[in-house]
């Protein structure tokens, strides 16, 4: 348990450090009106973009929970330590910087963007390591895929004309908090 807590804390600190570096460039660009430098998506986004993305993330989580209940697999989900929330919050920054940032150039459009979204979402779902032999694993993988598509749309949509990562960070954090909340209400947080 101590190893899991330390790993979660390190992942959180890595995410926090990355967010700090990203924010530094974001604030510098706002002051100087300069171009994007190292960190992708260091531009502003209207608050409505983040609100829309976060709202749909909650709906995706509700839908996933409903499907798990419908298929009777809620008892098959994993139990996590409360400290795992730290890792989940770190992941909301790290994964967005990688998937919707570095590997998703803001100038992509058309077929290239569609291919990126589909392939990136398959990879995103795969890295989460769900057991595809089980119904629970397949449901989780499908909803990770859907989540990823929505997070790409968070960056590449008309509500986010400057292709900022802010709605992506927000949406992913809301999704992970919602998943943690569902696990908590269903008794899959190991508080011991």
With left for phi above 0 and alpha for psi between -120 and 50, is residue 72 left, alpha or beta? left
Q: What is the pTM of this model?
A: 0.94
Residue 78: band (very low, low, confident or very high) from pLDDT cuts 50, 70, 90: confident
- Give the dihedral of Cα atoms 141, 131, 84, 189; nearest 10 deg: 100
CB 73 within 8 A of CB 135: yes
pLDDT tens figures, 34-44: 899 999 999 99
């Amino acid at each position: 348990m101590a190893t899991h807590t330390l790993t979660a804390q390190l992942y959180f600190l890595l995410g926090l450090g990355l967010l700090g570096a990203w924010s530094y460039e974001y604030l510098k660009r706002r002051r100087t009106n300069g171009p994007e430098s190292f960190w992708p998506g260091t531009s502003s986004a209207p608050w409505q973009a983040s609100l829309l993305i976060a709202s749909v993330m909650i709906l995706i989580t509700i839908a996933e929970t409903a499907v798990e209940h419908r298929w009777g697999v809620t008892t098959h989900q994993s139990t996590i330590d409360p400290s795992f929330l730290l890792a989940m919050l770190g992941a909301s920054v790290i994964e967005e910087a990688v998937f919707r940032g570095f590997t998703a150039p803001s100038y992509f459009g058309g077929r290239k963007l569609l291919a990126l979204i589909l392939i990136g979402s398959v990879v995103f779902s795969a890295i989460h390591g769900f057991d595809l032999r089980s119904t629970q694993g397949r449901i989780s993988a499908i909803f990770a895929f859907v989540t990823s598509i929505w997070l790409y749309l968070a960056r590449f949509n008309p509500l986010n004309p400057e292709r900022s990562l802010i709605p992506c960070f927000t949406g992913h954090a809301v999704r992970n908090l919602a998943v943690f909340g569902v696990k908590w209400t269903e008794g899959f947080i190991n508080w011991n």
